[in-house]
Amino acid sequence: MKRITLISTGGTIASRWQGTGYAADAGGDTVLASAAVPDGVEVRVVDLFNINSSQMTSERQLTLLRAVRDALADPDVDGIVVTHGTDTLEESAFLVDLHHDDPRPVVFTGAQKPLGASDGDGPGNMYDALQVAATVRDLGVLIAFDGSVYAARGTVKTQTLAAHAFGDPSRPQALGKLGFGRVDIRRDPVRPAPLPVPKTDDGALPRVDIVMHHSDADPTLFDAAIAAGARGIVLVATGAGNATPAFADAVADAVRRGVLVAVTSRVPAGPLAEIYTGGGAVDLVAAGAVLTGTLRAGQARIAVLSTLLADADAALLTRLVSDPEPASD
């Protein structure tokens, strides 16, 4: 018998009609009861939160990380499943992955349709996640969704409503597939060395903001983030990591103040690269920013947050965001 702990955090998979719209309100036992449980699997439910994932916070994500660690402290537990809303699932899964140092799997899943929908996808996703958690080892944190298995790193929500909601745009082939009672893992993810669980007992968490570059953009919002107390900023640049000379100056000033600056791209797929000057990635890196490879905004922000929580500098951030695998063309 495989013993799996199900940590329930809410999301669409736990959502029911509230009169004007859907919101998470069902406990983990109710969500579990909607799905078949694979043969040979025993499930213990932990109700951690019951929120729409757009309400996720860094504090809650760290609470989730500690709940995962607490569950894995039991040597009889063979794996973890986390049910989570799809809006911020990619961020929570990546945070847990950065700190996950156990061979037992942590598998995130959710749903695009609410609990009880006649054509709902939650029951199938739950079954698949339990099967993955009971089967694999040494793969880090995974996402099981719509018959596919993905590594947490690089996987983002790619569809607002469709059932096939997740993927890694820079690596289109999923880590594995599910079907006919089988878990078929095609390759092992390459992950950086895990970080210690951060100590957060000494006050407020560091603020990390995201600012986007676009036509006519200037550093006003970038500077406002610093004025609001941001200790880290993710600049969502254009192309392979390009902005303007004004942004390069703002980055240099922020770095001099001790602010950690990461640069990602609003383009869905592909790595960042130092190609252009004139405010491009060449100048942003020279100003002290760190390019985030194929990580996009939400996960780049998590990498900055984890770096700050480790009381580390740009060298650690560079290690966390460096591409462990080449991106696909």
The C-alpha atoms of residue 119 and residue 289 are separated, in whole angstroms, by 46
| Residue 107 token pair | 């598998």
| Cα 187–chain centre separation | 20
Burial group, residue 3, by CB count within 10 angstroms (0-12, 13-18, 19+): middle
Say whether 200 counts as a known binding-site residue.
Answer: no
Which of 5, 9, 83, 86 is catalytic? The answer is 86
Residue 188 annotated in ligand binding: no
Q: How far apart are CA 272 and CA 295, in angstroms?
A: 9
Q: Which value, to the nearest 10 degrees, does the dihedral of the CA atoms of residues 108, 111, 115, 117 take? A: -150
Q: How far apart are the C-alpha atoms of 179 and 149, rounded to whole Å?
A: 11
Residue type, 12: T
Residues 6+ away with beta carbon under 8 Å from 162: 112
Marked catalytic residue, from 5, 9, 12, 294: 12
87 marked as part of a ligand binding site:
yes
Concerning whether 12 is annotated as a catalytic residue, the answer is yes
Cβ(134)–Cβ(38) under 8 Å? yes
> Residue 84 in contact with residue 295, Cβ under 8 Å?
no
Give CA–CA dist 292/313, Å, rounded. Answer: 14
The single-letter code of the amino acid at 29 is D
Please say whether the beta carbons of 2 and 41 come within 8 A.
yes
**Which residue in 152, 103, 143, 101 sits closest to 298, CA to CA?**
152
What are the backbone angles phi and psi of residue 18, rounded to the nearest 5°? -110, 10
Q: Which segments are annotated as binding site for substrate?
A: 53, 86-87
Q: Which segments are annotated as binding site?
A: 53, 86-87
- What amino acid positions are annotated as catalytic residues? 12, 86
